[in-house]
Each structure stands twice: as structure tokens, then as C-alpha cells.
């Protein structure tokens, strides 16, 4: 990245005497993709073997069965889905996906730093020279990641489990595109150069969207945590009825962590108003709860009771609006403007982008988790999109206009003091 910092260009004679050391691009990018795939896979394989041994002290099956379970868990985090006893399980454990994304981001950043000396420097890029460093590095990174994913699918798949190779490849490519590529651009220094050419209004809208989405996910997680704390006794009772010993409790904890991001997104769908289904023909929303029998799983202790909700619960639907308004106001401090239309458009655009992004997460969070009614466990995605765009868009609008008013008022007061002086 230091090779792209602005400064005087070295003369050709100086460059010849002191060449910039560069690591091989193909090696750095390919190694980054391989390690990014293999590191989380190794963790899941280890968990699979430990879980196999803890469950019955290795009395049934072989260690290879534990390895296969771990590999299938990694594949499910890449959208593979599996068949369990002839029943399709398509839900994605987003906790494992998040771990994979974090590793991809870190390795992508390091790959970018390794190839920062390749291609033209900042001056040449500013002069219009074509720079293929990031696209080539990202392509090699993605290719290596996809190879590991395909090989893992081939080795772990059985006729009974039948994970989808095509979906695994699509998820691997998506993670490489949306996580690895930006990380490579940042690590190589290209992102700083490219972002300088992006209009301020676009940067403000994207910043508002990011802050809105992260803030709302944080609020959703807080609501989930408070609800679980209030019903902690019910969660403990679930474990006691399962007669879980220390090893089984540890496995339950790992499974809970694997689906905890899914639960946070379900909580966000609840706060937005449409809620979610926990089985065919069910609904969990701030206005009404209609549930049937649910699986014995500790996280489900946070579910509200059947029937109409209390008035204060309905008031929680105002939280998305408040989060978006606060995010737009914070962004305005970084990108101030005196123009009403700019303040409004930035807030609304950021809110709409955040609403679309959350809807994508809601789509990914649901799926089939078992037989019968449990084939429909998901947020009401179409309604979530409408509610999210409306709540976040209106919140962004109010936050943007309010801060624009404050900025204009401060500017007018300053002008009055200057004229008085």
C-alpha cells in the first residue's frame, strides 16, 4: 500500500538501482483464497470430531463421521442445504457464515497488502492508466476458494445428505465478490484512490445506510438479549428437560451461536412489524402472536406468548425510525450541507439502501429446518422490504432535514455575529 502513497515520482535511474520489492501476485492471491477457505473448514472439522466424541464417547460411528458432519456444517454456511432423514434442511447457519466472512476479509486485506506494489502507482492511476491488480487478485482468490468448496462438497457429500454444489459455488463467489474484493482493494491502497472520485452525496448516503443497518442490527440484538434474560428460566428448563450433560450443553451452545445471527435478523423483522413465521400457518409479530408447538431449543424461549400483544410492545415498532434518524444525523456531522434537498436525499437514499440490505439478510436468514410445519421458518420478506424502506427512509429523511436545519441555523447565527462585529 505504501507504493501508492502520493509523493514525488522516482527517476528511472533511481528505480533501476533501488527496485521496489514485490511479492508474486499469483502466489499471494491464490494462497490467500486457499487459507481463507481452509481455516474455517478446519475449525468446523475439529468441532465435528469433538462433537462426535462428546455425544456418546465414540461408541457409534467413526471419526470420519465427525469430519463429515463438520464439513457439512461448513457447506451449509455456504448455502448448500442438506437432506436429513429424507427431510430438506435449507436454513443457513449465519454464525458460521459470519466467521467465514471475517476470515475472508482478513485474508483479503493481507493479500491486497502483498500485491500493493504491482501495477501502476497512484500518479499513473490518476493519469488514467489501467490497473488490473485488484480484479486479477480477486479472481485468483475466488478461484482458489471455489476449488476448496467444490472439493469439500465432493468428499463430504453422500446420497443421503445431497448438498448442492451449485449453491456452494454461488455462495463462494458471492463472498469473494462482496467481502474479499473490497478487502483486497483496501489492502492494496486502490480503495483510497477510487473513493476520492466518488461524489460526497453518494458517500454520505452509503455511510447513512451502513450506520442505519449496523445500528438496527445492534438494537435487534439488544432486544433479543433482554427478552432471553427475562425468560432465562424457560431456556434453562428446556436444557433440563433434554437431560443434557456438560458435553451436550456445550454442543447446544455452539449450535446456538451458529444460528444467533439468524435470530437477530428475526428479531429485526419483528421490530419492523411484519414479524416472522415459525412453522407453516404461524405468525410472530408485535401486534399478534399465533404459534403452535415449537422445537425444544433454548433460543425459542424468547418467543412471546400467544395472543394480542401489549401496547408497549407495539411501540417497539418505532425503534427502526429512531435508529435511521440517529444514523442520518450522525452522518450529517461528517458530511454537512446547507441545502435542504441534499439533506433530504442523502437521508432517504441511505434509509432505502439500508432497508434493501436488511431485506437481503432476512431472505438469507430463513429456510426449512425440519419436517412438516418446520419447513417454513422465515421472516415475511416481502412485507419486511416495504416496512424497512418506509421506516428507514422516513427516519433518514427526518434526521437529514433536522441536521440541515441546525446547520443553517448555526450558519445564520455565525453570519449575524460577523455582521455585528
Between 368 and 15, where is the model more confident?
368
Distant-in-sequence, close-in-space partners of 72: CB < 8 Å, separation ≥ 6: 80, 82, 156, 161, 163
Q: DSSP 3-state assignment of 276?
A: strand
Mean pLDDT of 215-242: 82
Q: Which of 267, 380, 359, 353 is nearest to 317 (CA)?
A: 267
Mean pLDDT of 365-388: 90
* pLDDT, tens only, 322-363: 999 999 999 999 999 888 999 999 999 999 999 999 999 999
Q: DSSP 3-state assignment of 277?
A: strand
Q: What is the C-alpha separation between 273 and 280, in angstroms, rounded? A: 19
Q: Which of 255, 151, 138 is nearest to 188 (CA)?
A: 138
DSSP 289: E
Average per-residue pLDDT in the chain?
86
Q: Is the pLDDT of residue 33 over 80?
A: yes
Instruction: Tell me what pLDDT residue 13 has.
Output: 37
N-terminal to C-terminal alpha carbon distance within the chain: 49
Task: Estimate to the nearest angstrom the gap between the alpha carbon of 315 and the chain centroid.
Answer: 27
Q: How confident is the model at residue 20 (pLDDT cuts 50, 70, 90)?
A: very low
Instruction: Tell me what pLDDT residue 184 has.
Output: 96
Each domain of the chain, given as residue ranges in start order, spans 20-197, 202-415
Q: How confident is the model at residue 50 (pLDDT cuts 50, 70, 90)?
A: confident
Q: Which of 36, 174, 42, 178 is nearest to 107 (CA)?
A: 36
Q: Is the pLDDT of residue 107 over 80?
A: yes
Instruction: Tell me what pLDDT residue 136 has.
Output: 94
Quick check: pTM over 0.75? Answer: yes
* pLDDT, tens only, 332-342: 999 998 889 99
Query: Which helix (H) or strand (E) is 284 found in, with range?
Result: strand 283-284
Mean pLDDT of 134-152: 96
Q: What is the C-alpha separation between 33 and 107, in angstroms, rounded? A: 8
Cβ pair 150, 144 in contact under 8 A: no
Q: What is the C-alpha separation between 400 and 134, in angstroms, rounded? A: 35
CB atoms within 10 A of CB 43: 17
Q: DSSP 3-state assignment of 379?
A: strand
Amino acid at each position: 500500500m505504501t507504493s501508492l502513497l502520493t509523493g514525488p515520482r522516482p527517476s528511472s535511474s533511481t528505480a533501476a538501482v533501488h527496485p521496489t520489492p514485490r511479492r508474486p501476485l499469483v502466489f499471494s492471491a491464490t494462497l490467500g483464497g486457499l487459507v481463507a477457505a481452509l481455516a474455517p473448514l478446519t475449525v468446523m472439522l475439529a468441532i465435528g470430531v469433538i462433537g462426535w466424541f462428546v455425544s456418546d464417547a465414540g461408541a457409534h460411528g467413526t471419526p470420519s463421521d465427525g469430519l463429515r458432519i463438520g464439513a457439512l456444517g461448513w457447506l451449509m454456511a455456504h448455502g448448500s442445504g442438506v437432506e436429513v432423514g429424507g427431510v430438506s434442511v435449507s436454513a443457513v447457519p449465519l454464525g458460521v457464515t459470519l466467521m467465514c466472512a471475517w476470515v475472508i476479509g482478513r485474508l483479503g486485506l493481507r493479500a491486497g497488502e502483498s500485491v500493493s506494489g504491482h501495477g501502476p502507482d497512484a500518479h499513473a492511476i490518476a493519469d488514467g492508466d489501467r490497473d488490473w491488480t485488484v480484479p486479477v487478485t480477486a479472481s485468483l482468490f475466488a478461484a482458489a476458494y471455489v476449488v476448496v468448496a467444490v472439493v469439500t462438497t465432493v468428499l463430504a457429500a453422500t446420497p443421503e445428505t445431497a448438498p448442492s454444489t451449485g449453491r456452494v459455488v454461488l455462495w463462494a463467489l458471492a463472498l469473494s465478490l462482496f467481502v474479499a474484493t473490497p478487502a483486497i482493494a483496501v489492502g492494496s491502497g486502490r480503495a483510497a484512490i477510487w473513493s476520492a472520485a466518488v461524489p460526497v452525496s453518494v458517500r454520505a448516503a452509503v455511510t447513512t445506510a451502513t450506520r442505519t443497518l449496523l445500528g438496527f442490527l445492534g438494537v435487534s440484538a439488544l432486544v433479543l438479549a433482554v427478552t432471553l434474560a427475562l425468560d432465562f428460566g424457560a431456556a434453562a428448563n428446556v436444557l433440563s428437560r433434554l437431560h443434557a450433560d456438560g458435553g451436550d450443553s456445550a454442543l447446544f451452545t455452539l449450535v446456538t451461536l451458529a444460528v444467533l445471527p439468524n435470530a437477530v435478523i428475526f428479531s429485526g423483522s419483528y421490530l419492523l412489524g411484519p414479524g416472522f413465521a415459525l412453522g407453516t400457518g404461524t405468525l410472530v409479530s408485535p401486534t399478534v402472536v399465533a404459534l403452535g408447538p415449537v422445537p425444544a431449543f433454548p433460543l425459542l424461549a424468547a418467543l412471546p406468548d400467544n395472543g394480542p400483544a401489549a401496547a408497549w410492545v407495539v411501540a417497539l415498532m418505532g425503534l427502526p425510525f429512531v435508529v435511521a434518524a440517529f444514523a442520518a444525523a450522525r452522518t450529517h456531522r461528517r458530511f454537512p450541507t446547507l441545502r435542504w434537498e441534499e439533506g433530504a436525499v442523502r437521508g432517504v437514499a441511505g434509509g432505502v439502501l439500508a432497508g434493501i440490505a436488511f431485506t437481503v439478510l432476512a431472505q438469507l436468514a430463513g429456510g426449512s429446518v425440519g419436517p412438516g410445519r418446520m419447513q417454513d421458518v422465515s421472516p415475511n420478506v416481502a412485507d419486511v422490504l416495504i416496512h424497512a424502506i418506509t421506516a428507514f427512509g422516513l427516519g433518514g429523511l427526518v434526521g437529514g432535514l433536522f441536521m440541515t436545519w441546525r446547520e443553517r441555523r448555526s450558519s445564520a447565527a455565525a453570519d449575524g455575529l460577523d455582521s455585528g462585529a
